[in-house]
Amino acid sequence: MRFFDYRDGALYAEDVPLADIAEAVGTPVYVYSRATLEHHYRVFKAAMGDLPVHICYAVKANTNRAVIATLAALGAGADTVSEGEIRRALHAGVPPEGIVFAGVGKTDQELAYAISVGVRQINIESASELNRIAKLAEQMGKVQHVCIRVNPDVGAGGHAKITTGKADNKFGVSFELAEELYGLADGLPGVEPVGLSVHIGSQIIDFAPMEKAYQKLADCVLRLRARGLKVTRLDLGGGLAATYDETVKGPDLAAYGAMVQRVVGHLDVELEFEPGRMIAANAGVLVSRAIVTKDNGGKSFLVVDAAMNDLIRPALYEAYHQMLPVKKADDHDNLAPLDVVGPVCETGDTFAEQRPMPAIAAGELLAFMSTGAYGFAMASTYNSRPLAAEVMVSGDQWQVVRPRQTYEEMFGMETLPDWLGNKT
């Protein structure tokens, strides 16, 4: 579901023509739809029915504070993987008791910060981490709630680089070690173990691997309880797919909710979820302008002013993004194969190869759809290209939520070493 549609041949974000935004702000520009963000949060929550759930939006998918704040206003917490993300979440109005801190390599500084602000929970990924958290918390006179992140040894997700739940991935610990750490944590003064967490991958449509993982989690809860240990929370992670290709059916949330109910609903635990992509992907588009068309080696190329530094998913994961002309041509349905590329000096800077597309002339606008997640969040200034502007739309209103980076902001902080003289 997304609130980006054609009206009289013009592509709109909710009630705002994308061309108006591009005209005012320039391109490339990310445009987010508040209604889409809210819709996805609400349908996810609704799919969980009466289960006691705490939904932590996975901030890394789209870290703009306007996005986090939009979701926080609906009651969402935040799933964070760095001190920076915790700070952003707090800044955006997520209370500390709504923030989960996860990640495979948390530094002492990050852990101390998380404990000091009183985050809801830290998900532990190793024995050393447990001991460091316990020590830091004890020094601060605090008791930190922790979950042990289990690696359930099931594969899931659309691409090897986004699979996180296999035994030979870097994430989590085995059930055996998790149970040992749980008992250990129970005996340490600085921490209180409250549950288990799992996150097996991303872009998941088939729930079978998730069900397998959740079942293993449920069995583990019973084993822990049999030892007299208290388990009050299960963090079931994120990873549900977003629909990138409108001809492919997305995950059935009602079926997901029913599966969760069936597998862990009887355990009398609070359930946490960490959806990122599923909430944000279709809530954003990247609007670019065509710079030039050219033919090379028998192929037609369209070079646009967005590049892999703005949107790296196609280069990194061979990801598919639908591309729509912002102004529908009269012969919109007359398609010809086109390579759509950015200006960066890498052949990998390719958004699509031989994609059947309507004709697009230089100067016209092209929207990359479903780029609200892992779009701007993964952007860089490679080739000294400024970070794109970000805009949020709500109904017929829109506002810049992050202006385009200036060149001064891009390299003004760099200094020359003394031996090159004091020229600035």
- Note whether 158 binds ligand PLP by CB under 6 A: no
Of 2, 34, 40, 60, the one binding ligand PLP by CB under 6 A: 60
CB nearer to ligand PLP: pick between 193 and 275: 275
Which residues have C-beta within 8 Å of that of residue 336, sequence separation ≥ 6? Answer: 300, 356, 357, 359
Of 61, 133, 137, 303, the one binding ligand PLP by CB under 6 A: 61
Least distance CB 114 / ligand PLP (angstroms) = 14
Least distance CB 147 / ligand PLP (angstroms) = 11
Which residues have C-beta within 8 Å of that of residue 38, sequence separation ≥ 6? Answer: 70, 71, 74
Least distance CB 104 / ligand PLP (angstroms) = 9
x/- track of binding to ligand PLP for residues 226-265 (CB under 6 A): -----------xxx--------------------------
- Note whether 40 binds ligand PLP by CB under 6 A: no
CB nearer to ligand PLP: pick between 22 and 68: 68
Q: Which residues from 184-213 bind ligand PLP, rule CB under 6 A?
A: 199, 202
- Note whether 36 binds ligand PLP by CB under 6 A: no
- Note whether 277 binds ligand PLP by CB under 6 A: yes
CB nearer to ligand PLP: pick between 329 and 378: 378
Q: Is 56 a catalytic residue?
A: no
Catalytic residues: 345
Q: Which residues contact ligand PLP (rule: CB under 6 A)?
A: 58, 60-61, 79, 81, 102, 199, 202, 237-239, 274-278
